[in-house]
Structure formats: C-alpha cells, structure tokens
C-alpha cells in the first residue's frame, strides 16, 4: 500500500474514506479499466465536500467582514458629519494663521498706547493679467511719486508672474489704484506696526518691519528695542493679546524729549541723553537719546562714519562714556561706609598730586585741604584721588561691581548687551585714583542712573527695568542708610553751595553732582576742548523719589564773555528745567523740604 493517500486531509467528523479503496481498484483491474480514474473521482468528491465545508465556514466570515466594512464606512461618515456640523473653530484664513498677526500693543505705565497695529494693504502685480502695462506704470508713478514709470514698466515686463510694488498703502492710495482699473494690480492684506507718538521713545520701542510676506498676511517682527527684546511674547498667537506695559510715562517722556532737544539746540551739542528713574523700583520713567528717529520710518543702519553718531544709536544705553566727576560721590560714599572718613574729615588737596609720571590737578586750586563734604561740593580731583588711595583697587572694584558698573545693564532692550562698560585691564592704584573721579572707566548714563538710585534710595541695589513694576524692588544692600543719607546731604550741598547752583528748583530740593569729562581721543589721550557734560541728580534730596541723569555731548555756551563747557553751565540748567517741568507730572509734592534748613538755603540761593 505504498500509494495509500495521506490521512490528514479527511474532514473532521467523517470516517476516513481512502482515495484508492482496494476492493474497487481490484474490481476495475479485473474489468481492464484504468484504476486511476477511481482515485480521481474520489479525489474530486472529497474536494467537493471540502469546498462545501469551507464555503460554509467562509460564509459567516464574509458576513463578519461585510459588517466590519459597513461599520467602518458608517464610522467615517458619522465622523465626517460631526466635523461638518461643528463650527469652524480654527481661523477661516488658515494662511493668515501661519503668519501670526495681531501683534500685542505696547503701552506706557498708564495704559497709553505707544505701539499698535493698523490694517493696511500691500500692492502687488500679476503682469500676465495686466491689460496695459505701460499705461498702468505711468498712472502708478502718478500715485506714488517715488516710483519711476520706466523702471516700473521694465520690472513688469521682465517676464515675472508676481511683482511686489508697495508694502503699505493708505486708503486714498488704495482707492487711486482701484481707479486705474487694471485687473493685474492686486492688494494683499497687511497689519502694519504704528507708533502714534512718532519719535517719542524711539530708542525704547526700537521698531518693527515685515518678515515673511505673503498675499494674505505678512509677519511683523521687531527689529530693535523692546519690540525685538519681547518679539516672541508680542507675537505669541493668543486670542486676545495682552498689551506689554512699559514703565515709561508718556507725558514725562514727551517733556524730556522737548527739554533735552531745547538744551541741545541752545548749547550746540551734537548729542544728548537723559534718564529719569524711580529710585525704589529701578523703573525707567523716561529715557531719551538725541538725535533720534521716527520708528514708523526707521532709517537704515549707517554704513559709514561712527555708528555712535547715528540717530539709531541709543546714547543712554549703548553709549559708554567716561562720565567724570559724577563718580566722586561713589568714592566718598564708599570711604564713609568703610569708616575711613566722616563728612567733616579734612582731606589733603595740595596741587598737583604726583603719582609716578602722572599729575592730577583740580579745576582750580582750592587750598591745601578741604572737608570731605567740600571735596564733593567743590569737585576736587586731588581730594577724591587721595581718598581712593586709602580705599584701594580691590575694594573699589568690588563696590563698583555691587552698583552694577562692570557689566552691561540688564534692561529689556535688544541693544542693552552692547552697552558693555569699558573697564581697565589692569586695575592698579593709578586706575583707582582716576576712576575715583570718573576717568578710566566708561559706562552708560543708564548705569549711572541705577548707581545713583542704589546709593541714594537708602542703600539698596536697584536694577534698571523698562517694565512696569508694582511696589518697591529691594535688592542687595550696597551701603548703609546712614551713608546714603550723608551722600544725599553732600549732593544737596553741591546744588545749594557748589558747582550745580543752577539746579535749584524751588520746592524740589534737588541734590546732584556735575561731571565734565574730557572726551577720550581715538588712539589715546584726551581732546583739549571736547567734553561730555553730565549732571546726575536725585530729588527731593532728603528722601529721593527719582534720579535724573542728563548728558550733553560737546555742548558749549558764551556767558560773560567766556566760553563755558563745564557741566554746571551746560547740563545743569537742562536738568533743572527737566525737573521743574516733570516733577509735578510725576506727582512729587513741592516744598516738601524740612522747614528750618529750607529757608536758609533758598535765601542763600537767591543771594547767589
């Protein structure tokens, strides 16, 4: 039985039936028939049975499969129905959503708008759809005087299918272009950034420009100032963008710009800057740098000349200068704090002070010795330098570090890191002596404002900020209350008795220090007749609320037949006018000076 069939193909439940039943085959052989036919017939019969069985089994499975497909199609259909009947939650113009629009506004501390958006249109052309290119070019040149008809026609006939013509159009211009009646001139919707106050706070706001431009929308990106520093936050696509609230007070800012521009013009200065800062919070209430620009029409970056002369340059933050005698108060305050002197300690002011080959002189000879207070009041370089010798380089450096003079300010401007102070590589005794009266270390007016605020607010460090703060920001202590009070007294005396007598503003007890710094010459040495005049002040002097820094670059005036360049003549009157006009705006009550001394000082002043 070698040819016996396999047994595994028998269907279950059936008795196994051989494919070649021996009896039948033998019978067939006897009859002389081919026995293979019997096998084939049996095989066929078995296949038939298997087919029937498998069809039965497949029937139910096919039904399951059919049900699966019906369910699947129904699921997709129901899902489609749900989608179709749900409201379109996503913005209708999905293209506009890719390019975020609705940049958040920027406001001042009282919610007045400094930067906002305006719906406008951009103009582009599909030259292949245009009917009469040369006629349209002429008419466009008529609407936009800065377009040249011939150049335009050349651009439109260059074979391109898409040409941008204008970035922003006024409604009148849109109407005028409509009236050309040219089907190939098309408008793209835009949101443009608008600074309704023009150049006011230009350096703070910086500016914005278009990034990716599309037909449906264009991306508005910040290019400088807070617009760039907070770009991501301002652009964040939120349903209702919260405005960015700055610490700036628009009215104070406006007054500052006006006063500073007036002072700059009066004294023929080539530049000027000013900062008003809240001494307790570090908030910059107003900050100006002149010359300035209109952020609505931001000029291109200068390609030649000194970038520091460009209107884009923020003198108050980016400009680092040797600020001169305004630094003396830091030296004297540190000596007071360290217990090296007290305000009436007599200090050697013999002229000149020799140190190696260097000689230090005062503006004029004040005699062999002055009290510490008088060193400040008369602004004696030799006196301050001798005090600095006692302090020493290491302690001086640590103190200036604690006031923030050795690093760029952390103010929230894109440009802030570029205002890195210039610190001497070697900080030895001679550097200590020159830095003590403000030479050899360059820092920005904003550094100075923060330094004065920290020193005079009772002695705690403040960090300059452009964001609205709520409540005092108490930093690390830099000097004691007592030292702070003594420094305030000295600064008040500078105004009442010393070099800054023009700073007397009735009722506001201004205290401050002048600084007239020779401008360093490129490549070493100092100019003989170019100075930076600075007045650093705080008011009211006995309990300061605000510090005011004013610097004028290369200002001079003719008074009493003499050319005057010192800060007392140049920067102080500007600062006094600034305080006189802004103090009421800032809500500082006048005549808050303690009564007994006030009368004396005012009488003295009116005499002088």
Partner 1 sequence: MTEMAHGTAPHRGADPLLPRWWRTVDRWSLSCAVMLFGIGLLLGFAASPPLAERNGLDPFHYVERQALFGLIALVAMVICSMLSPTAVRRIGVIGFLIAAVALAFLPVFGTNFGKGAVRWYSIGFGSVQPSEFLKPMFVVLCGWLMAAGLQIGGPPGRVLSFIVCVVIVGMLALQPDFGQACLIVFAWCVMYFVAGAPVILLGLVAGLVIAAGVFTYGASEHFARRIDGYLSTEIDPTTQIGYAANAIREGGVFGVGLGEGEVKQNLPDAHTDFIIAVAAEEYGLILVLCILALYATIAVNALVRLLRERDPFVRYAGTGLVAILAMQALINIGVAARLLPTKGMTLPFVSYGGSSVIAAGITVGMLLALTRARPQGRMADYLARARG
The residues assigned a catalytic role are: 325
Does 6 participate in binding partner 1 (rule CB under 8 A)?
A: yes
Which residues, in sequence order, are bridge partners of residue 118?
192
Does 87 engage in binding with partner 1 (CB under 8 A)? yes
Report the run of H or E that residue 370 belongs to, with start and end.
strand 369-371
Whether residue 227 contacts residue 208, with contact meaning beta carbons closer than 8 Å, is answered with yes
Does 86 contact partner 1 by CB under 8 A? Answer: yes
Dihedral over Cα of 581, 582, 587, 593: its sign: negative
Cβ density class 412-448: b for 16+ within 10 Å, e for less: bbbbbebbbbebbeebeebbbbbbbbbbbbbbbbbbb
Report the nearest approach of partner 1 to the CB of residue 101 (Å). Answer: 13
Residue 92 within binding range of partner 1, rule CB under 8 A: yes
Closest listed residue to residue 497, CA positions, set 360, 603, 592, 391: 603
Which CB sits closer to partner 1, 87 or 608? 87
Q: Which is nearer to partner 1, 64 or 232 (CB)?
A: 64
Angle of helix 328-337 relative to helix 381-391, nearest 10 degrees? 40
- Quick check: 3 binds partner 1 (CB under 8 A)? no
CB of 129 to partner 1, least distance (A): 11
Q: Which parts of 214-302 are beta strand (E)? A: 218-224, 244-245, 271-278, 284-290
In the complex, the smallest distance separating the C-beta of residue 84 from partner 1, rounded to whole angstroms, is 4
61 binds partner 1 (CB under 8 A): yes
Would you say 70 or 422 has its CB closer to partner 1?
A: 70
User: Which residue in the set 11, 22, 65, 474 belongs to the binding site for partner 1 (CB under 8 A)?
Assistant: 65
44 binds partner 1 (CB under 8 A): yes
Least Cβ distance, residue 55 to partner 1 (angstroms): 5
d(CA 187, CA 201): 32
Chain centre to alpha carbon of residue 346: 47
Smallest separation, CB 69 to partner 1 (Å)? 5
Nearer to partner 1, 218 or 446 (CB): 218
User: Smallest gap, in angstroms, from Cβ of residue 67 to partner 1?
Assistant: 9
Tell me the window of 89-97, 180-188, 253-261, 557-565 that interacts with partner 1 (CB under 8 A).
89-97
* Binding segment toward partner 1, per CB under 8 A, in 55-63, 352-360, 461-469, 573-581: 55-63
In the three-class reduction of DSSP (H, G, I as helix; E, B as strand; rest coil), residue 112 is classed as: coil
| Chosen residue from 11, 62, 131, 398 binding partner 1 by CB under 8 A | 62
Q: Is 83 in the site for partner 1 (CB under 8 A)?
A: yes
- Residue count, binding to partner 1 (CB under 8 A): 48
Q: Does 76 bind partner 1 (CB under 8 A)?
A: yes
Query: Scanning residues 115 to 174, which ones bind partner 1 (CB under 8 A)?
Result: 161
Distance CA 115, CA 106 (A): 5
89 binds partner 1 (CB under 8 A): yes
What is the rounded CA–CA span in Å between residue 420 and residue 416? 8
Q: Are 20 and 3 in contact (CB under 8 A)?
A: yes
Whichever of 98 and 529 has its CB closer to partner 1, that residue is 98
Q: What is the DSSP string of 22-88?
A: HHHHHHHHHTT--HHHHHHHHHHHHHHHHHHHHHHHHHHHHHHHHHHHHHHHHHHHHHHHHHHHS--
**Does residue 14 bind partner 1 (CB under 8 A)?**
no
Counting contacts by CB under 8 A, is residue 84 touching partner 1? yes
Neighbours of 17 (CB within 10 A): 13
- Closest CB to partner 1 among 86 and 606? 86
Q: Which of 97, 194, 588, 598 binds partner 1 (CB under 8 A)?
A: 97
| One residue of 16, 29, 57, 112 binding partner 1 per CB under 8 A | 57
Q: Give the interface segment with partner 1, choosing from 59-67, 141-149, 363-371, 463-471 (CB under 8 A).
A: 59-67
Among 3, 12, 30, 85, binds partner 1 (CB under 8 A): 85
Angle between helices 328-337 and 393-402 (to 10 degrees): 110
Q: Judging by DSSP bridges, how do beta strands 244-245 and 106-107 pair with one another?
A: parallel
CA dist 57 and 55 (Å) reads 5
59 is an interface residue for partner 1 by CB under 8 A? yes
Report, in Å, the least distance between residue 6 CB and partner 1: 7
Nearest-approach distance from CB 93 to partner 1, in angstroms: 8
Phi-psi region of 118 (alpha: psi -120 to 50; beta: other; left: phi over 0): beta
Nearer to partner 1, 95 or 367 (CB): 95
Q: How far is the CB of 209 from partner 1 (least distance, A)?
A: 23
Burial class (CB in 10 A: 0-12, 13-18, 19+), 82: exposed
- Percent helix / strand / coil, the chain, rounded to 5: 40, 20, 40
Question: Where does this chain touch partner 1 (CB under 8 A) — which range of 71-79, 134-142, 464-472, 557-565?
Answer: 71-79
Residue 180, C-beta contacts closer than 8 angstroms, at least 6 positions apart = 136, 139, 140
Q: Which is nearer to partner 1, 49 or 542 (CB)?
A: 49
- Scanning 4-12, 204-212, 454-462, 597-605 for contacts with partner 1 by CB under 8 A, the matching segment is 4-12
27/40 with CB nearer partner 1: 40
When the beta carbons of 40 and 270 are compared against partner 1, the nearer one is 40
Q: How far is CA 256 from CA 5, 109, 233, 284, 508, in A?
A: 111, 16, 29, 12, 17
State in angstroms the smallest separation of the CB of 37 from partner 1.
Answer: 9
Within 13 Å of residue 42, how many CA atoms lie on the same side as its CB? 18
User: What whole-number distance in Å separates Cα of residue 253 and Cα of residue 244?
Assistant: 17
Give the nearest distance from C-beta 30 to partner 1 in angstroms: 23
11 belongs to the binding site for partner 1 (CB under 8 A): no
Using CB under 8 A as the criterion, which residues of the chain lie in contact with partner 1 when the complex forms? 5-6, 9, 19, 40, 43-44, 46-48, 50-52, 54-55, 57-59, 61-63, 65-66, 69-70, 72-73, 75-77, 79-81, 83-92, 94-95, 97-98, 161
């Amino acid at each position: 039985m070698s040819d016996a069939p396999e047994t595994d193909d028998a269907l279950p439940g059936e008795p196994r039936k051989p494919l070649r039943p021996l009896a039948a085959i033998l019978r067939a052989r006897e009859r002389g028939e081919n026995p293979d036919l019997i096998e084939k017939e049996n095989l066929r019969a078995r296949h038939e049975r298997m087919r029937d069985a498998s069809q039965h089994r497949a029937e139910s499975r096919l039904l399951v499969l059919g049900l699966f497909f019906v369910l699947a199609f129904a699921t997709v259909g129901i899902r489609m129905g749900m989608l179709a009947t749900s409201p379109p939650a996503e913005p209708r113009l999905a293209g506009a959503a890719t390019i975020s629009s609705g940049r958040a506004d920027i406001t001042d501390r009282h919610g007045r708008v400094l930067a906002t958006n305006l719906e406008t249109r951009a103009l582009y052309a599909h030259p292949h759809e245009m009917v009469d290119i040369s006629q349209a070019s002429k008419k466009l040149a008529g609407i936009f005087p800065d377009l040249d008809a011939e150049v335009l026609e050349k651009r439109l006939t260059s074979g391109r299918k898409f040409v941008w013509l204008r970035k922003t159009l006024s409604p009148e211009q849109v109407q005028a272009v409509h009236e050309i009646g040219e089907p190939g001139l098309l408008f793209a919707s835009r949101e443009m950034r608008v600074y309704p106050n023009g150049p006011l706070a230009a350096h703070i706001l910086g500016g914005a420009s278009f990034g990716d431009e599309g037909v449906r929308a264009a991306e508005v990106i910040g290019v400088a100032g807070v617009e760039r520093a907070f770009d991501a936050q301002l652009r964040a696509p939120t349903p209702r963008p919260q405005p960015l609230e700055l610490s700036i007070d628009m009215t104070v800012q406006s007054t500052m710009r006006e006063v500073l521009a007036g002072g700059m013009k009066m004294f023929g200065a080539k530049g000027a800057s000013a900062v008003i800062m809240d001494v307790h919070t570090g908030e910059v209430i107003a900050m100006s740098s002149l010359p300035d620009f209109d952020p609505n029409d931001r000029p291109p970056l200068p390609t030649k000349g000194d970038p520091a002369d460009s209107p884009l340059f923020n003198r108050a933050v980016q400009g680092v200068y040797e600020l001169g005698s305004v630094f003396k108060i830091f030296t004297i305050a540190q000596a007071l704090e360290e217990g090296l002197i007290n305000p009436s300690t007599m200090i050697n002011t013999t002229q000149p002070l020799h140190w190696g080959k260097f000689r230090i002189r005062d503006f004029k000879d004040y005699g062999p010795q002055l009290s510490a207070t008088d060193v400040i009041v008369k602004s004696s370089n030799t006196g301050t330098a001798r005090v600095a010798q006692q302090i020493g380089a290491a302690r001086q450096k640590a103190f200036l570090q604690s006031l923030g003079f050795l690093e760029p300010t952390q103010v929230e401007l894109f440009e802030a890191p570029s205002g890195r102070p210039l610190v001497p590589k070697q900080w030895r005794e001679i550097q200590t002596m020159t830095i003590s009266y403000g030479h050899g270390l360059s820092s920005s007016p904003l550094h100075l404002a923060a330094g004065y605020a920290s020193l005079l607010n009772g002695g705690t460090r403040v960090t300059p900020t452009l964001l609205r703060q709520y409540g005092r920001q108490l930093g690390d202590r830099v000097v004691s209350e007592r030292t702070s009070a003594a420094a305030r007294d000295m600064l008040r005396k500078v105004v009442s008795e010393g070099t800054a007598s023009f700073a007397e503003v009735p009722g506001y007890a201004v205290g401050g220090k002048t600084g007239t710094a020779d401008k360093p010459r490129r490549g070493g040495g100092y100019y003989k007749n170019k100075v930076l005049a600075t007045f650093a002040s705080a008011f009211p002097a006995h309990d300061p609320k605000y510090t005011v820094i004013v610097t004028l670059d290369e200002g001079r005036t003719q008074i009493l037949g003499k050319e005057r360049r010192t800060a007392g003549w140049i920067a102080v009157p500007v600062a006094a006018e600034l305080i006189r006009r802004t103090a009421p705006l800032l809500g500082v009550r006048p005549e808050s000076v303690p009564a007994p001394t006030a009368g004396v000082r005012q009488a003295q002043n009116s005499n002088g």
